[in-house]
């Protein structure tokens, strides 16, 4: 895949996130790895109107901005995710309502796995959904805490804030986000009381 094709995939997923109401207004951010380069959505961008030329390029190793524009204020989180997880090629940060609602739920007691596995796709591909407490958006503290949870996990919920998912492609990251959102919606509907699957037994 060329860098232009990768840029187009990011834009396509941006549109889908807005259409599916997994982000709103100018919230959320997406990045993808292309060698040592990170392509990331700019700060304050509307995913309905963003174009390929708006994506900001950064060097993953040095953190240097190597194109015009201002990256999302969560860029440190994305950079750290790529440095800590050399196996991933995409990071999506969304404000998906059901996963945020789960993060606020009184029944959440285990921060390493905040919601049971009710769907097969969640049990197979996500397994456990950890959460970090509330930290200021764009802060290095949030970036460090969240990416520490991504070591061994493919998603982490930011309490009262949103969710981070990682994958080997941007489109697969969207699929993972949708699977988590579906599982979270089921949990909210049944009150976390129904029998769930054990991901570790699959």
26-59 confidence digits (pLDDT tens) = 889 999 999 999 999 999 999 999 999 999 999 9
Task: Taking residues 116-130, report their average pLDDT.
Answer: 92
pLDDT at 193: 67
Give the model's confidence band at 105: pLDDT under 50 very low, under 70 low, under 90 confident, else very high.
confident
Name the phi and psi angles at 195, rounded to 5: -65, 135
| Strand pairing class (90-94; 56-59) | unpaired
pLDDT over 90 at 198, yes or no: no
Task: Taking residues 192-200, report their average pLDDT.
Answer: 70
Model pLDDT for residues 172-184, shown as the tens digit of each residue: 999 999 999 999 9
pLDDT at 201: 66
Burial class (CB in 10 A: 0-12, 13-18, 19+), 8: middle
Q: How far apart are CA 13 and CA 88, in angstroms?
A: 17
**DSSP conformation letters of 100-129:** HHHHT-TT---TT--S-B-SHHIIIII---
Q: How far apart are CA 57 and CA 60, in angstroms?
A: 9
Rg (CA), the chain: 16
Q: Where are the domains of the chain?
A: 3-190
Domain range 3-190, CATH class: alpha beta
pLDDT over 90 at 191, yes or no: no
Q: How far apart are CA 160 and CA 176, in angstroms?
A: 20
* Structure-block tokens of residue 151: 């070591």
pLDDT at 77: 98
Give the model's confidence band at 194: pLDDT under 50 very low, under 70 low, under 90 confident, else very high.
low
Strand 131-132's sheet: what is its strand order? 56-59, 37-40, 29-34, 90-94, 162-167, 155-158, 131-132
Q: What is the pTM (predicted TM-score) of this model?
A: 0.93
């Amino acid at each position: 895949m060329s860098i232009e094709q990768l840029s187009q995939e990011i834009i396509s997923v941006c549109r889908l996130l807005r259409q599916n109401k997994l982000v709103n207004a100018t919230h959320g951010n997406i990045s993808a790895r292309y060698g040592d380069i990170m392509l990331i959505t700019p700060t304050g961008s509307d995913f309905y109107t963003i174009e390929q030329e708006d994506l900001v390029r950064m060097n993953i190793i040095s953190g240097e901005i190597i194109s015009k524009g201002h990256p999302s204020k969560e860029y440190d989180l994305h950079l750290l995710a790529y440095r800590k997880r050399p196996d991933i090629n995409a990071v999506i940060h969304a404000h998906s309502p059901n996963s945020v609602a789960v993060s606020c739920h009184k029944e959440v007691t285990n921060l390493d796995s905040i919601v049971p596995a009710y769907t097969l796709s969640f049990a197979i591909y996500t397994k456990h959904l950890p959460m970090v407490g509330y930290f200021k958006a764009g802060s290095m503290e949030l970036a460090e805490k969240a990416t520490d949870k991504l070591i061994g996990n493919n998603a982490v919920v930011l309490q009262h804030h949103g969710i981070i998912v990682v994958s080997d492609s941007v489109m697969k990251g969207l699929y993972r986000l949708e699977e988590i959102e579906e599982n979270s919606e089921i949990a909210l509907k049944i009150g976390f009381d129904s029998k769930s699957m054990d991901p570790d037994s699959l």
